[in-house]
Chain A
Amino acid sequence: MPTIEISYADLCRLAGRKIPVKELETDILYVKGEIESREGDRIKIDIKDTNRPDLWSTEGMARELRAKYGATGLPKYSAEKPKFSVPVDTRSPVQPLAACAVARNLRIDENFLSQIVQLQEKLGQTFGRNRRELSMGIYDLDRIMLPIKYTSMKPGDITFTPLGSAMEMTAREILSEHPKGREFGRLLADAKEYPVWVDGSGAVLSMPPVINSEPAGNVGGHTRNAFMECTGYNVKFLDTVINVLAMQMADRGASIEAVETAYAGKKILTPGFSPKKMQINISYINKLSGLNLTPARIIELLRRSNCNAIQEADSIVAEYPSYRQDIMHPVDIIEDIIIAYGYNRIEPAYPRLATSGSMLATEKFSAAIAEVLGGLGFQEVMNYTLTSNQEQFDRMGISGGKAVEIENYMSENWSAFRAWLLPGLLSFLSTNQHSEFPQKICELGNAILPDESAPSKARDVMKLACAITGNAAGYEDISGALDAAMRSIGIKYKLSRTTHNSFIEGRAAAVLMENKGIGHVGEIHPNVLNNFGIERPVACFEVDISRVYESWQQRHKR
């Protein structure tokens, strides 16, 4: 969700109304926004909708508020006929499509400039998925020699001065040394040729999706006329972005001029401001909203949402602006109607439905077991299911353990799912070496095991693990606790001597139920204790409660 920083005074000016702060707190809901912070004139607003890039600027919010206050209907934007055409002949697989526009007679002040910069940043970040799907640039048209073209070049042939730098750099230097190159260079990783915007003099204007050049890309107070472009893969997205950029300029008094994009075999004119239409059944509007709105009221609410609308028989035909690419289905228009009506003006209703509630059977079962463990004096603990293979295998003296592993982890501590619970209990004990002894802890929770036979190649297994530590904690204490727990739920089991690297040789047993292993009980090997930094003996067990539950359920079936 993008956070947009704006000037309060600037917003009021563009909205055409001095909005009292109290009112703004409510009215900001009309733009799906929430005031995050306010410091004097600077306001930070979280815009909830990641699919409404038209709202991510002061100009965009003001556009929405003007309609809300004035029921002004479809906003009037138009583009003059194109004065030039831009050929597109890139051979690069990266962002092969482009859309362009020109804004003339600009007067760029500080507020405007900060919004130009911020809007581009948010569009690239959120709408462009960090420039993976699309990127854009704005240039001082008076510093560009026509004709402009979008083409591609071999990395070795590209040299220009990146925006904000004093020196020319090669494409390779930019990717390895320039901060933007290092951040976005990976998007060009597999390309033999890089996409470039080039002007009539052969100068490189920019290298999408990485960076623009000096001096053409340097837009500021001196800029009177601007060229805007957006490159990517999806025409719908490109059109939306170029419209949003052009409207920002238009809202600040510039006149917009279309640009023809010439592909081999077809020509496309952008920006296009022709509205789109959608027909919506009136009863559907009232049914879904739960409101009882007259057609006239619906039309008025739509006019407060930047739409024109008329009634046609039992339907409303809404005309909505072209930048609203988020509208796919009548429900999208209905939301606009409800937002314009005001969520907090609606009287909530509660659906009175005769349904019977129930908890998961395994939840009830585990709660019953937890009660027994409480009776045995075990303090329940809760650990994360995310851990590391180092903790759950290496430190436990286990080699070749297999766990579900995260690819894009941010910290190795949270890089794999636990396959068992005991390492977590030992880790817990290691952080409580200065608490009173003896310590008796237990955990009931899921382990996540790789399982080729499951549709998602892994399955959740509920496990119970208990540990006792203290100067005299031993096998009998823990096997006694295990026995008490199993007897309490009527499960027959056997202990069978076993060897396990986590336990002391001769002090470990497999827990067998119906002759199948469901866990282990024993005293932890001093080597493992050293690995965890635990200074007293630990006796513990872990059993598969999912399996125990299945057996219990079999027995209690009628």
Chain B
Amino acid sequence: MSRHILTEEGMKYLRSGLPEERLALILDKPLPLEECRKRVEDFAIALSWAKKKGLVNVSGNIISLAGRPKTFPEREALGKISGGGDVGGEMLNVLLSRNLIRRAEDDYKKAERQLADGITTLTPELIKTRLWQKARLKPYNVEAVGRKEYPGKRHPYNQFLRFVRQKLVEMGFREMEGPTIELEFWNFDALYQAQNHPSRDWTQTYSLKYPKYGALPGKEMVARVQAAHENGWKTGSTGWGYKWDPKKASQLMPRAHDTAISPRYLSQGVEIPGKYFSLVRCYRPDVIDATHAVEFYQMGGFVIAEGLSFRDLLGLLKMFAKDLSGAEEVKFYSDYYPFVEPGAQVSVKHPEMGWIELAGAGIFRPELTEPLGIKEPVIAWGFGIDRLAMIKLGINDIRQLFSQDLKWLREREIAGL
């Protein structure tokens, strides 16, 4: 296998003869220099090599043949090399110095091999050696669908949650957080839900086997909450009228509603006016089916400012309903949560599904806010965000929000939020 390949010039000379050869061919009789220049390509090279080789005589401006050579060894050598053969050292130097060949080395081998297979893939070797010229690049079925690729995508439910978060931030709400394992105190007592009372039964809750009891927060605040439960404290309320038990309040439970976070923030001091929200997982025992999960997200929060009224609450709910669900029509219902009065529920009209319950809301009771050190009205709400997510993501089984189906996750289009 030759370790050299022809340059473009070399290939041309192999095809149509060396320049001096072509010059010799036309000199059947002496010719004027100007005529030779017109008839012979690369005339300068031809004359220079013809003189060097002693093929021609030049007198004045007339060129005549000195003797016709039988062969042109360079051309034979080019032929050999292009045919895959090799030539002797001296001739090699001549051809290299005339820039008619160059070293091919390994490229050649590779390209040769590739050529033999037919060119499907255009390789660096084929491009560099120009051997691609020797073959036709095979056409592809360009109309076929491309190979399956699976990009790393965010989970569609997380995408939705992020949309909700972003929306709330745009509306000027500050995000809150709280622990998953919560004291009953924050989940219930600080929200003015009486112990051993149906007010605590508006939802089923989990209790813990381990750990069982936590530490209550600051004594003074706890004492005010206790007084509010027992006799209304200084709020102008009768209170629930029972003996409040700190042990019960220190029991631990997984947070059953996002509202458990709000009294933590209210008791630690919030900006007034202030707008706050949380978007967290909550836990309630239930029999799991297409519409019931034991673990689910809620989006809730509060707005605090002097002079807020029930009308503001309705306005806020209406704005949420429109911005988050895209619904145009909203309807308000009376509703009951022990920690709000007045209480309300907002439903939105979905084009196919009809009226859908979106959120519960209300104005926090004074028995809740005042013991936490808050004098201004606080309007609060809690969204069951899962329902909205299901509508937005076009799924009808709540379990699919935490889908275990990789194919579904891979194939899903990015939610057009």
List residues of A whose CB falls within 8 A of some B CB. Answer: 1, 29-30, 32, 34, 48-52, 126-127, 129, 133, 234, 236, 287-291, 328-332, 334-335, 338-339, 343-344, 346-351, 353-360, 362-363, 367, 370, 373-386, 402, 404-411, 414, 417, 427-428, 431-432, 435-436, 439-442, 446, 448, 450, 452, 454-460
Contacts and interface: CB of A to CB of B under 8 A. Distances in A.
B310 A360 contact: no
Nearest to B162: A367
Contacts of B317: 348
A435 B402 CA distance: 18
Contact of A335 (B171, B307, B342): B342
Contact of A404 (B155, B166, B211): B211
A404 B341 contact: no
B152 A380 contact: yes
Contacts of B211: 404, 450, 452, 457-458
Given A382-B157, A410-B287, A455-B214, A48 B333 contact: yes
25 contacts: A29-B333, A48-B334, A49-B334, A49-B336, A51-B199, A133-B197, A289-B342, A329-B235, A335-B341, A343-B344, A350-B315, A351-B273, A351-B316, A357-B169, A379-B409, A382-B157, A406-B208, A410-B286, A417-B180, A417-B254, A428-B406, A431-B405, A435-B407, A450-B211, A456-B182
Going nearest first, the 6 A-B pairs with the smallest beta carbon separation are A290-B309, A290-B311, A335-B342, A457-B211, A348-B315, A458-B181
Contacts of A385: 180, 281, 295
A331 B158 contact: no
Interface string B262-299: 00000000010111000001010111100000110000
Contacts of A335: 334, 341-343
A335 to B, nearest CB: 4
A231 to B, nearest CB: 15
Contacts of A348: 311, 314-315, 317-318
B171 to A, nearest CB: 6
A87 B150 CA distance: 78
Given A377-B151, A380-B158, A355 B334 contact: no
A36 to B, nearest CB: 11
Contacts of A338: 310, 342
A431 B69 CA distance: 84
A289 B154 contact: no
B172 interface: yes
Residue among A52, A377, A406 having the largest count of chain B Cβ atoms under 10 Å: A406
A377 B182 CA distance: 37
A82 B311 CA distance: 49
Interface in B189-213: 196-199, 201-202, 206-211, 213
Residue among B207, B315, B316, B407 having the largest count of chain A Cβ atoms under 10 Å: B315
A376 B153 CA distance: 10
B365 interface: yes
A446 B295 CA distance: 13
B237 A329 contact: yes
Interface stretch (B5-13, B40-48, B219-227, B238-246): B238-246
Nearest to B215: A455
Given A357-B174, A407-B209, A350 B319 contact: yes
B300 interface: no
Given A384-B402, A459-B179, A52 B336 contact: yes
Contact of A355 (B174, B213, B240, B367): B174
B316 A328 contact: no
Given A335-B343, A432-B407, A450-B211, A359 B285 contact: no
Residue among A126, A339, A382, A417 having the largest count of chain B Cβ atoms under 10 Å: A382
B312 interface: yes
Contact of B202 (A1, A328, A357, A378): A1
Contact of B404 (A349, A407, A428, A439): A428
Contact of A350 (B175, B271, B316): B316
Contacts of B151: 374, 377
B12 to A, nearest CB: 51
Given A290-B311, A348-B315, A386-B283, A448 B180 contact: yes
Nearest to A342: B332
A360 B177 contact: yes
Contacts of B345: 48
B342 A331 contact: yes
Given A288-B342, A348-B318, A436-B148, 16 more contacts: A32-B335, A50-B198, A290-B311, A344-B332, A355-B274, A357-B168, A357-B174, A379-B406, A382-B402, A405-B208, A407-B209, A417-B180, A427-B404, A439-B406, A454-B214, A457-B214
Contacts of B343: 48, 335
B19 interface: no
Contacts of A386: 283, 294-295
A452 B212 CA distance: 11
B303 A407 contact: no
B275 to A, nearest CB: 5
Contact of A329 (B158, B173, B232, B242): B232
Contacts of B238: 328-329
A432 B411 CA distance: 14
A355 B314 contact: no
B50 interface: no
Nearest to A367: B162
B210 A29 contact: no
Given A329-B236, A381-B155, A448-B180, A410 B335 contact: no
A373 B158 CA distance: 14
A404 B254 CA distance: 10
Contacts of A427: 404
B168 A370 contact: no
B169 A354 contact: no
B358 interface: no
A473 to B, nearest CB: 15
Interface string B144-166: 00001011111101100010011
Contacts of B371: none
A357 B157 CA distance: 22
A428 B155 CA distance: 14
B341 A290 contact: no
B366 interface: yes
Nearest to A371: B154
Contacts of A34: 333
A358 B169 contact: yes
Contacts of A339: 334, 342
Interface in B382-417: 401-407, 409-410
B237 A370 contact: no
A328 B367 CA distance: 10
A1 B152 CA distance: 43
B217 interface: yes
B23 interface: no
B69 to A, nearest CB: 66
A257 to B, nearest CB: 28
Nearest to B281: A385
Nearest to A366: B158
B214 A411 contact: no
Contacts of A236: 241
Contact of A328 (B210, B239, B273, B283): B239
Contact of A349 (B202, B208, B303, B315): B315
Contact of A379 (B153, B179, B307, B309): B153
Contacts of B312: 290, 349-351
Contacts of B403: 382
B249 interface: no
Residue among B177, B181, B285, B366 having the largest count of chain A Cβ atoms under 10 Å: B181
A534 B271 CA distance: 52
A357 B365 CA distance: 26
B310 A290 contact: yes
